[in-house]
Amino acid sequence: MVAYCEISAFTGTPGAGNRAGVVLDAGGLSEGQMQALAAFLGVPETVFVTRWGDGTARVRYFTPTQEIDFCGHATVALGLRLAQEGRWAGEALVLETLVGRVPLRLEQDPAGECRVWMTQRAPQTRPVGREKRRELAAALGIDERMIHRGLPLACASTGLWSVFVPVIDRLVLDGMEPDLHELHRLSDALGVSSVYAYAPVGVGRFAARDFAPAVGIPEDPVTGSAGGALFALLAGEGALPLRAGRASGVVYQGHSLGTPGEVEVEVVMAGERVGEVRVGGRAVLEREGEWAPA
């Protein structure tokens, strides 16, 4: 039997945020068995720890339909589970992922509440052509005039590629009626995993929705990897206020699905370019169980 748990990340409230499966002892599982367990759990992503080392852990991430390179909310969920199980007390810990090494930091407040922070990989960006702007608007079910002209529309990644589409306000964001077939087609054409729509709601604060039918997720509730990439994109374009070479803020996501969550982000600049991208948040245990491999 394989022990697993489900943890909701980027929230402290059961039933909110984004749920992830966590398997701490997956060294004996084949790739097919990991995929089968991810499909059995049916949550957006499941993280498997396949090997432990001195201050390191090798991990793999699966959606219900396929393996992906990285997942932010599952990483936060994993950090919380390690702390709960007494396997991590805040010492240096680095995850070995398909996109490289991801350092984790454990933060505990005086009330005993934990936050898990991850340092994401260096950001990459790609432009999006004018014709794709029109197609993206149509696929999201909005008029092209609802796209925000003062914020960047581009592809970006700090571990997983998304195309970021800014809209003028949260009303437009909440009213979207996306065509998932078209979003899947556009994701494939742009070489991204998801279409991430975002709207400003305050200084350093954004609301977002993330559509990922290309990897088997119609709408992801709360997306840590994309939250980091969004802030890296905005900081690189000079669209965030800086204080002492840093930009920080919050992405609110999941409200449209009834599972609200908050992704905390900090970007550290290295001169005029983005240096480090750090993403953090809370998490809460939902349930535990065991699974019998075939």
Identify the bridge partners of residue 212 per DSSP, sorted by sequence position.
217
pLDDT at 130: 87
Taking the CA atoms of residue 93, residue 97, residue 99 and residue 101 in that order, the dihedral angle to the nearest 10 degrees is 20
Residue 256's pLDDT band (boundaries 50, 70, 90)? very high
> Can you tell me which residue has the tokens 């794709």?
132
Q: Is 177 a catalytic residue?
A: no
Pick the CATH number of 2-118+282-291 from 3.10.310.10, 3.40.50.300, 1.10.150.130, 3.40.50.720: 3.10.310.10
CATH 3.10.310.10 fits 124-281, yes or no: yes
Q: Which of 6, 45, 219, 262 is catalytic?
A: 45
Q: How many CA atoms lie within 13 A of 217 on its CB side?
A: 31
Burial class (CB in 10 A: 0-12, 13-18, 19+), 82: buried
Q: What pLDDT digit, counting tens, does each position of 1-41 carry?
A: 999 999 999 999 999 999 999 999 999 999 999 999 999 99
Q: What pLDDT digit, counting tens, does each position of 54-111 carry?
A: 899 999 999 999 999 999 999 999 999 999 898 998 899 999 999 899 999 999 877 7
Instruction: Answer whether residue 159 shows pLDDT above 90.
Output: no
Report the alpha-carbon distance of residue 152 to residue 237 in Å, rounded.
7
Residue 262's pLDDT band (boundaries 50, 70, 90)? very high
Residue 218's pLDDT band (boundaries 50, 70, 90)? very high
Residues in the chain: 294
Do the Cβ atoms of 22 and 47 come closer than 8 Å?
yes
Decide if 2-118+282-291 and 124-281 have a common fold: yes
Percent of the chain topping pLDDT 70:
100
Instruction: Answer whether residue 175 shows pLDDT above 80.
Output: yes
- Mean pLDDT confidence for 176-194: 97
Q: Where are the domains of the chain?
A: 2-118+282-291, 124-281
Report the alpha-carbon distance of residue 163 to residue 180 in Å, rounded.
15
What mean pLDDT value characterizes the chain? 95
List phi, psi (to 5°) of 174: -70, -25
